[in-house]
Structure formats: C-alpha cells, structure tokens
Amino acid sequence: MNPHVPSPRPTGPAPRTAPVSARPPAVLSLRGVSQSFGAVRALVDVDLDVHAREVVAVVGDNGAGKSTLVGVMSGVTVPDSGEVMLEGVPVQLGSPAVARQLGIATVFQDLALCADLDVVENLFLGHEVRRGPVLDEIAMEREAWRLLAQLAARVPSVRVPVATLSGGQRQAVAIARALLGEPRVVILDEPTAALGVTQTAEVLNLVERLRDRGHGVVLVSHNMADVQAVADRVVVLRRGRLNGDFDADTARYEDIIAAITGASPALSGGSRAAQPRHPRGETS
Ligand SMILES: Nc1ncnc2c1ncn2[C@@H]1O[C@H](COP(=O)(O)OP(=O)(O)OP(=O)(O)O)[C@@H](O)[C@H]1O
Ligand SMILES: [Mg+2]
C-alpha cells in the first residue's frame, strides 16, 4: 500500500500488442474524474486507462474536455473529484513537475520551446549536465543526438536555433525533451495541428516510435486521419463525458464521428463504467 513511484521503465522494441488476457495493468488510469469551471462541467465522471505500448487517441468536438483531461493527466489541474492512478496506485500529481517525476511527460500544444536557443539548449534547459562548475556540452550534444535518433528524427544540427527548424522538427525536439526522464506515459496535445502533410507524417512516425519503445501514448487530436493512422484505441469525449471507446483497427469512421457528435445512441449518457470495445469486431 505504500504510495510509491512505480519503477519499471520502457525498454527496447518489442511486439506491438500482447494477447488481451496477458495484458498487465494500465500504466495510467483515471477513475471518476470530474472537473468544473464555474457552471461549466468540463469533465464528468471520466474513466480512462492507458497501457504500455499503446496509443490512445482522445477525440471530441471543441469544448468536449480534451485539454482539461490533458491538464488532469499532466498535473496542471487537480480535478474536483476522482482518482489518478499509476499502475493501480493512486497518486496526487499536484503539478507538472510531480507528474514528470512520476513518469508522465506532456508535450503541450505550444511546445514551450525557446526559438532563439539551439536544440541542445532547449532539451536541457533547467536540467543542464555539468562537469564540475562547467556545462558538459559534449555530453549534452551526445544525448541530444541519441534522443533524436531514438525517434528517427532528422535535424540538420543540434546547434541551430529552434527557430530555423520546421514545425515537424520542432515537434521532434519537444518530444525528445519529454523523453529525457524516461517517462512511461507521453501525452501529446494536438501534435499535428499546425503541420503540413510531410511533417504530419513525420510526427505520426514519432508517435509510433514512442509506442514501439514501450511508452503509453495519449494523442489528443482533431484529425481523424491521424488518429486512424496511429491509434490503437480511440476514446471519445462529448460534453465532458466519455462517449465511446473504440478499437481503432475495427471501428468504423462514421461510428466514431457519431460518438463525437452525439448521434450515437449506444454510449451517450456518460456511463461511468469503462465502455466496451466497439462491437463491430469482425476481423479480416
Ligand atoms: N480555465 C477555464 N475556465 C473556464 N472554463 C474553462 C476553462 N478551461 C476549460 N473551460 C471550459 O471547459 C470546457 C472544456 O474545455 P476544453 O478546453 O477542455 O475543451 P477541448 O475539448 O480541449 O476543446 P478544443 O477542441 O476547443 O480545444 C469548455 O466549455 C471550456 O470553455
Ligand atoms: Mg483543447
């Protein structure tokens, strides 16, 4: 029962999915999470599980509660009620720093990069590696290349200002920075929103890399094409409530859209219980 900081870390590549019966407990779980802002019920009794080696897409219309959910999972927002659990152990996130220490890293939509600083400086801002009194630039450069290589991300140099990089490259730098503490869960808020076709493909590749390295990934997105390209599960929020939990391989696009818009009768009403996988399960 000790409130612990669970320790297993993601390791190298492994098969993408395990049989359902052999599945370990979720790395990150929300139970009965509610959050209001004045009269606005941004989240109502939301349950969510994120497993290792899984990309969970969170979709929903404007104002559905996605960013509020990200806030709760990343420690920005302490919910009015409900629990956050890591490997089944309730935790108090309290702040993004605490969430990071516990293994939840978030890449916010604005990326929070300093345009004038180079890639290495951005990666290690506030966590500089020192050798005695001086910065160990070589160690930081080496680590920067290692992290970017893990993501198969290409940047011309780690010594160019971030301002000179493309949107996709900046996203890669922000994700690389998230990986510094070897998090178990990486949350990405609208990572492709500002990107063109090629850069979007690069970022979706990064998301797959994260999964293949064993992280649980939460992908908040407006873009159904992105979601269907990389997600294993698609969770729908509607007016703050969970309104669907689909297996991305078998769900039909129109059923997900129906859950987003409220046209789906099956799961509306925000049942607290985990929603069943979408029944349209005939595998090919
Ligand atoms: N700090 C806040 N103060 C007041 N209301 C808020 C606050 N944050 C969110 N809300 C409200 O809570 C609801 C959910 O907002 P949230 O930002 O989580 O939605 P979202 O799904 O991220 O929407 P979008 O797709 O537009 O980003 C909205 O009605 C929003 O106006
Ligand atoms: Mg939002």
**CATH code: domain of residue 57:** 3.40.50.300
Asked if residue 284 is part of any domain, the answer here is: no
How high is the pLDDT of residue 21?
A: 55
Confidence at 111, pLDDT banded by 50, 70, 90: confident
Instruction: Say how many domains are in the chain.
Output: 1
CA of 140 to the centre of ligand 2 (A): 33
Average pLDDT of every residue of the chain: 85
**Higher confidence at residue 123 or residue 182?**
123
Asked if residue 279 is part of any domain, the answer here is: no
pLDDT at 283 over 70: no
Best residue among 36, 48, 66, 72 to mutate for probing ligand 1's pocket (most ligand atoms within 8 Å of CB) is: 66
Q: Average pLDDT, stretch 176-193?
A: 89
For residue 43, give its domain range: 27-261
Asked if residue 20 is part of any domain, the answer here is: no
In this structure, which residue's CA is closest to atom 4 in ligand 1? 37
Q: For residue 113, what are its two tokens?
A: 């990069």
Asked if residue 21 is part of any domain, the answer here is: no
CA of 74 to the centre of ligand 2 (A): 14
How high is the pLDDT of residue 17?
A: 54
Best residue among 40, 61, 74 to mutate for probing ligand 1's pocket (most ligand atoms within 8 Å of CB) is: 40
Q: Average pLDDT, stretch 5-21?
A: 49
Confidence at 196, pLDDT banded by 50, 70, 90: confident
Candidates 77, 78, 81, 71; CA nearest to 32 is 81
In this structure, which residue's CA is closest to atom 18 in ligand 1? 65
Ligand closest to 77 (CA) is 1
Q: For residue 215, what are its two tokens?
A: 């992280």
Buried b (16+ CB within 10 A) or exposed e, 49-81: bbbbbbbbbbbbeeebbbbbbbbbbbbbbebee
Asked if residue 272 is part of any domain, the answer here is: no
pLDDT at 224 over 70: yes
CA of 258 to the centre of ligand 2 (A): 20
Ligand closest to 69 (CA) is 1
Q: For residue 228, what are its two tokens?
A: 């269907």
How high is the pLDDT of residue 201?
A: 87
pLDDT at 2 over 90: no
Torsion-angle region of residue 103: left (phi > 0), alpha (psi -120 to 50) or beta?
left
Q: Which amino acid is at 131?
A: R
Asked if residue 33 is part of any domain, the answer here is: yes
Asked if residue 22 is part of any domain, the answer here is: no
Full DSSP string of 157-203: -TTSBGGGS-HHHHHHHHHHHHGGG--SEEEEESTTTT--HHHHHHH
Asked if residue 274 is part of any domain, the answer here is: no
pLDDT at 208 over 70: yes
How high is the pLDDT of residue 22?
A: 62
CB 238 within 8 A of CB 60: yes
Query: Who lines ligand 1 at CB under 6 A?
Result: 37, 40, 42, 60, 62-68
How high is the pLDDT of residue 182?
A: 86
CA of 184 to the centre of ligand 1 (A): 26
Q: Which amino acid is at 230?
A: V
Q: Average pLDDT, stretch 131-135?
A: 91
